[in-house]
Structure 1
Amino acid sequence: MRENRFIFGDLSSTHCNGEQVSMKDFFQEKSFKKFEKECHATTWLTWSSVVLVLILTTILLTAFMKKYRVHIDYVILRLRSRWNGIIPVVNTKQFRFDGFVSYAEDLEDFELVSTTLYKELKRLGFEISLPDEDFIPGRSKAKQLLQCIDESRKVIIVITENFLASGWNSYAVQMVVTHAFHNHREKSIVVIIKDGISIEKLPKDLKYIWWSVIRITWPETEENMETFWEELSKALDLD
């Protein structure tokens, strides 16, 4: 209308709604700029503020949920368990397993755990839980992970190069650490380090609690395996 105001023959008798000024005077530069400022100061400022708040809230919530995803999952899973009437084990004599083993979902690590670690610990009289042994296909892995570590007196984390490259096991470590501190069981975590991995390369969640975990190094030679099994057995027997 402003650009084509000269084609309107009755501008002098037409008034803008809400403005006590004729359309002819309204399109004068001074009047129109005043109108634009008032318009931006109310409608546009209101909508832009709402949009800005929504965008910032979304960004902050996304960042928070990404950073504390495991903690949120843990709380949700724990609430669901309580809702279903599942009570966490508190008496050490009631644990179903002596240890739950977390390892990389890799063929090399699977063979190491299933054919060496698992069989030897079973031979020594320990009841051991493995994801490939006790997880039911089709069910939530996170839910079954929490259930297994909840039913185990100790959690054994086998750290290898494959483990460090696995995204799922980073999730598993965070879940184990969250569970341990939530239930005041910091000493329940046993870390087996293989491949000469340095502390600097470990997941940050483990480094934060390095002072409280039980640390055992996997021997590079067969001659030292007997000592390794003795250390691991003591760690599993320790309350």
Structure 2
Amino acid sequence: MKEIQHLFGDLNETICSEKKLTVLELLQEKAFAEFEKNCQTDTWLTLSFSMLVFLTAAITVVFLVKKYRVHVDYIILSLRSRWKGVVYSAAREDCQFDAFISYAEDDYSIVSTLLYQSLTRKGFRISFSDKDFTPGLTKADELLWFVDNSRKVVFFVTENFLANGWNSYAVQMAVTHSFHNNRKQSLIVIIKDNIPIKRMPKDLRYIWWSILSIRWPETTELMEQFWGELSCALKSD
């Protein structure tokens, strides 16, 4: 337009709303250079602001997904199960197991022998990983199924348990499922190694008021009392 401005008869009467100048004045080299610079500045400002908003939103989403990973997993698993026709429910009488035991892999020996055998002899139906989990399915899927099909969830808390990341995941998943399905009284914690409550997983500490906790006896003379307390806890509604 600058090069063929002689073809336009009204450039001196046409006002540029952005600069409040006539087009003829705007086409002057100095004015046009300033106008072009302002346009570029506005474009980059808009682009930079858009990128900042997008980056902030992305970081926020990643942070929330990481922080609430278990809740996200739970929602996904629940939706997937509902799609398959499986509906999780509150405590019921027809559960396949009386209790599901969550423990650290290093404590497998004591869980699979002493705990499992003793409770089985007392007539309880007990499930735990390595014994009942189905090969080929994800741990999250299996965990949620066993938690839902057990009247109680027992956390065998030891020093090994506190050091194991998977058990932290199991705690969060069980707690989330219990509260979503009004089964807050279904959690039992067996505390071994003289661990203080302040070292319990935070997800358990937050709902400690609704948990039944039992201390593992330090002497064999107290074992009978321990089994009695645990049996009463497993039978309770």
Say yes or no: does 1:158 pair with 2:159: no
Q: Which residue of 2 aligns with 1:225?
A: 223
Q: Distance in 1 between matches of 2:104 and 2:139?
A: 14
Q: Which residue of 2 aligns with 1:95?
A: 95
TM alignment of 1:100-115, pairs within 5 A: 100-106=100-106, 109-115=107-113
Q: Which residue of 2 aligns with 1:173?
A: 171
Taking only aligned residues, the RMSD between alpha carbons, in angstroms, comes to 2.1
Say yes or no: does 1:134 pair with 2:132: yes
Q: 145, 148, 172: which one pairs with 1:147?
A: 145
Rate the CA distance shift 1:234–1:22 in 2: closer, same or farther, 3 A: closer
Deviation string, structure 1 residues 183-223 (Cα, Å, up to 9, x no partner): 11111000000111111111110000001100000011111
Rate the CA distance shift 1:20–1:45 in 2: closer, same or farther, 3 A: farther
Say yes or no: does 1:238 pair with 2:220: no
Q: Which residue of 2 aligns with 1:66?
A: 66
Q: Is the 8 A contact 2:151 2:186 kept in 1?
A: yes
- Structure 2: 5+ residue stretches without partners: 6-15, 17-22
Rate the CA distance shift 1:22–1:37 in 2: closer, same or farther, 3 A: closer
Q: Distance in 1 between matches of 2:81 and 2:135?
A: 19
Identity of aligned residues (%): 51
The secondary structure found in structure 2 opposite 1:70 is helix
The secondary structure found in structure 1 opposite 2:36 is helix
Q: Is the 8 A contact 1:98 1:152 kept in 2?
A: yes
Say yes or no: does 1:39 pair with 2:66: no
User: What's the TM-score, normalizing by structure 2?
Assistant: 0.86
Residue identity in the other structure for 1:71: H
Rate the CA distance shift 1:210–1:33 in 2: closer, same or farther, 3 A: same
Moved over 4 A (4+): 12-15, 18-23
Residue identity in the other structure for 1:77: L
Residue identity in the other structure for 2:70: V
Residue identity in the other structure for 1:39: Q
Q: Which residue of 1 aligns with 2:191?
A: 193
Using the TM superposition, give the Cα deviation of residue 139 of structure 1 relative to its aligned residue in structure 2, in angstroms: 1.1
Q: Which residue of 2 aligns with 1:5?
A: none
Q: Is the 8 A contact 2:90 2:183 kept in 1?
A: no
Q: Is the 8 A contact 2:88 2:181 kept in 1?
A: no
Q: Distance in 2 between matches of 1:91 and 1:61?
A: 34
- Structure 1: 5+ residue stretches without partners: 1-11
Deviation string, structure 1 residues 116-155 (Cα, Å, up to 9, x no partner): 1011000111000111111122211101000000000000
Q: Distance in 1 between matches of 2:131 and 2:61?
A: 37
Deviation string, structure 1 residues 17-42 (Cα, Å, up to 9, x no partner): x986799x63x5x753453233111x
Q: Is the 8 A contact 1:71 1:175 kept in 2?
A: yes
The count of residues paired between Structure 1 and Structure 2 equals 220
Q: Distance in 1 between matches of 2:35 and 2:89?
A: 71
